[in-house]
Structure 1
């Protein structure tokens, strides 16, 4: 374990002590972890505090169900579970992919006021900050009598915490949703620099950044980044697109609009997420005002013919449409009694709407564009729309400007499907978001008119079709993303461990092997010595040529850092020179991760330890290291192609 941030030294009713970081994997978690001692004073009324704590937090975050009280667990243990669930909920609110499991044990057998809590975490620092805040809130409630609401200072501190946590979360909803899909499917995840993630190990791995994959070509991405290039390319491919004229100033914009006719569109050619697009401009005055606004954001601007109809986003994966939504622009629906500005304020009270990067929906703004659209509709901010009347407040339909989406895949016309698939193929994208404007997605564009206005190389897939992320992983990541992973627990100079490593390389040349004295990948000696078993194993797991991995570590390293990988296909225990109690404790932290045989030499203390920890698992006692390797190789052969 690495030492975490220093814990506070004040005498709070509920406090965090002895914080540490576990960089490897323990207790079957899919993520690294933090460990901390949770200490409660004897004066805490735990049952009252539990009720008030949940009431307070539920006003700001979505809490999962607490553990039932009829489980036989003590109130103190149940409250520590509440703290863990609160940490998970806060992190999820901030956009972190969350593994909701935790392990909680008494620090001392008879002491119900001190508990050891172990939590998995995508960001260990973020989890530490959150656990510390959660305990401070619990302590504040405990010392304040019957209060169950935030003070103004506490609410401000919570908002500041969320802002800090968001900065440590995956950037964008695509990365978060893809990671959550990977964790849900038990696929291994290795975060890489620059917002990139490796999903899977070795030869069964793929890399993603947002919704782009390691299969996405540079040429295709370059084409998709420029809307004018994409427009011309699709026209060359015989696909329906609006007429488009690049312009450099107002006069050229007016001249171009005279060619397209009104209504028309002003569009920035190099921006994403709906920024710099003004559509449905009715006259020269509106055109010039829109041009001035767009020119503040970009120097690459075009005037484009207006396509009447609804805005649809179709997600294409390897040439096939896998999702389609109707993108509804920001607006409100009248109730016959409320003004437009009252309806907007009410809509923005939805907790899903926030300016935070992790938010599913964005606030609806009453700005100059909204005022122009209200004026065109004969309304103002103080008008009261009739019941059921939709009042549009943005010209373009984009979630980033306050809009929302409605699924339409079930009614998609085959002709509309075909041109979107053809557009993604023409650009050369394996994952694409195609923006189609047609009056009705259920009717052919040939019949009703319409066209493709954009092809996005890094589309925001969103939450409307959560199965899309699972489908991407199923399509791209082979063999459940896993290669055989073996762990040898032994001292650095153990001759039997050395023999096991040499024989596994001889039997499986494409394996990677990491020990304190050697680092081999694909039959070649590694470039640098490992810093820790986790470091050495990760170097192998990141190699596309690796067909398996064997890592050697000591019991002390296992207890300090956790296991180098989250699942273990075969465990060998040799020369456990640490105290028996420490060995057993170390083995218990990884017991849930072992899904293959646990192997020891016959008649040794290690065999007895395995029997005490893995009573329900496969324990094999052998006579020599060669037999150990034969067992591992047989396991590889028997499980080849299985998850």
Structure 2
């Protein structure tokens, strides 16, 4: 099997609303050999990938794909399912896939949903190799392949904290797209956008983040506002650390001033040797060191979002139990690091415990008279870690007094999203009564401990952050008008420019990407054709944009997809010819409606579709619209228009030289083209352009622009062009 090419469709496309990788696969002679004719193939494939049992396929139930496999299906279809399963095993579960013939013998389009282009393409290539190995009864290292894909997912896909916010936004219908190769993500479009970077938002100020990194400054501010904090001193040397410990009173805790994840933190220190060793461990983290009063109790992390505690976890002391033959280091690997929740990457809620290169763990063992090489007898246990094991959900136990001080601490520092660390015996009791204290306030807190607690239920922290950024009723959307029809030609450009002009007049700063160039308000940014995905995304990234008019073409839909997930108004002006699209396996005119309907499929429920009723194939697309349908035509006697108006629908048409708005039985004369400066310049001077004007009028009407403003806007737009032509 040969993969001729792979295309990443980044936006809504002919297959689905979401990004996919589309591969052109030539299966060659295998077109004559469905799976049920290949001896041993079924057994080898299912032994390598037992998870295929979960694939429902077109049968619609568990095991459906395996039924197809036994009955006989072709390698292109099998590649689709294998690629999806490889992605799932690599930690990127996506369920959508398609395999369709192209019309060329043995050549298929294999399509899979993917969250990352490189991972999706690698999964398709691996699927090809795996299927061929199973067909030819050759060895194939499935484990190594999944490990390689897993590494790609870990390194290149969004981290779990960011993903949970993005997924929560998606559930709310809020669009999003990635702004870099890391975890910087834009939610929403244009002026309605917000940005997140892991658990930090664009409401997280640099000053607040700087304060949170300075633990001494944080404590000073908290203390001045009445928040209980442990007394402490910043020190430069081990000797100073011991002096501070004596001033504060033993026992003490020693930690880096600028640290996170409990690295370099030592607790309950009672001797000079312990304090000095702890200083060395904290200093190794690369910042100043603070010595503070030890607070007895358990470590807790409260997540504060928008002034509310939305989740809380409690830490646990990590211990190992002796077996009489294994060293402490071996016991740590056997009993602690074997926990599937532990790992070095962000998707693991707990860190790997390292003993040989971790001074804090070595100090903890030394205080118990042990080293990493000590062998614990049966029945004896040892503490290996006191901090950093936040894994027990206690959200429902948090006392209102504790929640009050946690939210106050976040406000004092200035963080909209904060991880507030406190030590307390019982989180269900008031803070001061039990001598508890807040020890840290962290910006950009990890969310995984709340998503995957070892004990208790997961908390909807992503939803809380999205609700904070977008209170109920806010969608993160701006009006987007998508226009398709004449393959990116001049008539659609005229419609787009008119619509953008009318939106600007209505008070919305409007971005325009069309065949004539790229515009923002009344300023032209580029004179080159902007009928492409990149131009559309560029406009939707702009924080000043309040509305966007984006022209597209069939070729763009087939090679990139649409640059937006949904639109307020979708306009189809014509059914383009299929000629010139053979390189994309479009050979027949009857393929075109299935492609063009993409523009209608993405119309929002509360939006509208604007349809050229004079083109019968375009008129047929109206039935796919989730929103209201506006028709336009040269005459109200057009059959589709008459039927639409009879049902109470809205339409725009000509009556002589007048443009008429119709709704049900009502008629309203918008403008007499013969009397308008615009008509002389554009419509009359360029025969055949009037339908573009009708489309623009219908679109503006669908956007809720008052007819009087539409009429005035058409005339003023024409006058501007006339003045420019005379200069």
Name the structure 1 match of 2:498: 502
- Name which of structure 1's ranges 594-603 and 462-471 shifts more when overlaid on structure 2: 594-603
**Cα gap change, 1:522 to 1:466, in 2 (>3 Å):** farther
Q: Deviations over 1:104-129 (max 9, x none)?
A: 323449x7x75422223332122212
Counterpart contact for 1:29–1:99, Cα < 8 Å: no
Counterpart contact for 1:571–1:597, Cα < 8 Å: yes
Name the structure 2 match of 1:244: 232
Name the structure 2 match of 1:126: 119
Counterpart contact for 1:436–1:454, Cα < 8 Å: yes
1:56 aligns with 2:48: yes
- Name which of structure 1's ranges 38-47 and 545-554 shifts more when overlaid on structure 2: 38-47
Q: Deviations over 1:226-283 (max 9, x none)?
A: 1111111111222111111111111111111212233322211122222222222232
For 1:414 and 1:337, the matched residues in 2 are separated by 49
Name the structure 1 match of 2:475: 480
Q: Answer 1 or 2: higher relative contact order, Cα 8 Å, separation at least 6.
A: 1
**1:414 aligned residue (371, 394, 400):** 400
**Cα gap change, 1:260 to 1:202, in 2 (>3 Å):** same
**Cα gap change, 1:382 to 1:248, in 2 (>3 Å):** same
Task: Write the mapping of 1:201-280 to structure 2, written as runs, cut at 5 A.
Answer: 201-280=189-268
For 1:467 and 1:220, the matched residues in 2 are separated by 25
Find the residue that maps to 1:85 and give its secondary structure: helix
Question: What residue ranges of structure 2 are gaps of 5+ in the alignment?
Answer: 453-457, 579-588, 634-690, 706-727
Find the residue that maps to 1:436 and give its secondary structure: strand
Name the structure 1 match of 2:415: 429
Q: Deviations over 1:48-72 (max 9, x none)?
A: 65565455356xxx88921168458
Task: Write the mapping of 1:184-583 to structure 2, written as runs, cut at 5 A.
Answer: 184-193=171-180, 195-332=183-320, 341-342=330-331, 344-367=333-356, 369-370=360-361, 372-374=363-365, 376=367, 382-383=375-376, 386=379, 392-396=383-387, 398=388, 403-462=389-448, 463-464=451-452, 465-477=458-470, 479-489=474-484, 490-495=486-491, 497-507=493-503, 508-510=506-508, 511-526=510-525, 529=528, 532-579=531-578, 580-583=589-592
Name the structure 1 match of 2:613: 602
Counterpart contact for 1:102–1:120, Cα < 8 Å: yes
Shift of residue 425, structure 1, vs aligned partner = 0.6
Counterpart contact for 2:14–2:594, Cα < 8 Å: no
Name the structure 1 match of 2:97: 102
TM-score (norm 2): 0.74
For 2:247 and 2:46, the matched residues in 1 are separated by 62
- Name which of structure 1's ranges 345-354 and 410-419 shifts more when overlaid on structure 2: 345-354
**Cα gap change, 1:469 to 1:300, in 2 (>3 Å):** same
Q: Deviations over 1:28-54 (max 9, x none)?
A: 745432111356543856796556545
1:174 aligns with 2:161: yes
Q: Deviations over 1:453-490 (max 9, x none)?
A: 10001111221444111121122136322222221113
Q: Deviations over 1:177-210 (max 9, x none)?
A: 2223233433211211363211011222111111
Counterpart contact for 2:574–2:618, Cα < 8 Å: no
- Name which of structure 1's ranges 514-523 and 326-335 shifts more when overlaid on structure 2: 326-335
**Cα gap change, 1:70 to 1:158, in 2 (>3 Å):** closer
Shift of residue 332, structure 1, vs aligned partner = 4.8
Name the structure 2 match of 1:5: none
Find the residue that maps to 1:495 and give its secondary structure: helix
Find the residue that maps to 2:229 and give its secondary structure: coil
Shift of residue 86, structure 1, vs aligned partner = 1.5
For 1:31 and 1:190, the matched residues in 2 are separated by 11
Find the residue that maps to 2:185 and give its secondary structure: strand
Q: Say which one has the larger Rg.
A: 2
**1:628 aligned residue (695, 698, 721):** 695
**Cα gap change, 1:247 to 1:371, in 2 (>3 Å):** closer
For 1:310 and 1:278, the matched residues in 2 are separated by 14
Counterpart contact for 2:212–2:442, Cα < 8 Å: yes
**Cα gap change, 1:362 to 1:296, in 2 (>3 Å):** closer
**Cα gap change, 1:497 to 1:68, in 2 (>3 Å):** closer
**Cα gap change, 1:616 to 1:81, in 2 (>3 Å):** same
Counterpart contact for 1:485–1:569, Cα < 8 Å: yes
**Cα gap change, 1:139 to 1:375, in 2 (>3 Å):** farther
**Cα gap change, 1:143 to 1:289, in 2 (>3 Å):** farther
For 1:252 and 1:121, the matched residues in 2 are separated by 55
Name the structure 1 match of 2:584: none
- Name which of structure 1's ranges 210-219 and 587-596 shifts more when overlaid on structure 2: 587-596
1:88 aligns with 2:87: yes
Counterpart contact for 1:500–1:628, Cα < 8 Å: no
- Name which of structure 1's ranges 519-528 and 186-195 shifts more when overlaid on structure 2: 519-528
Counterpart contact for 1:355–1:363, Cα < 8 Å: yes
Name the structure 2 match of 1:7: none
Name the structure 2 match of 1:641: none
Counterpart contact for 2:570–2:609, Cα < 8 Å: yes
- Compute the RMSD of aligned alpha carbons: 3.4
For 2:422 and 2:434, the matched residues in 1 are separated by 13
For 1:566 and 1:541, the matched residues in 2 are separated by 11
Counterpart contact for 2:252–2:269, Cα < 8 Å: yes
Name the structure 1 match of 2:109: 116
**1:587 aligned residue (568, 580, 596):** 596
**Cα gap change, 1:606 to 1:207, in 2 (>3 Å):** same
Shift of residue 542, structure 1, vs aligned partner = 1.5
Shift of residue 498, structure 1, vs aligned partner = 0.4
Counterpart contact for 2:494–2:692, Cα < 8 Å: no
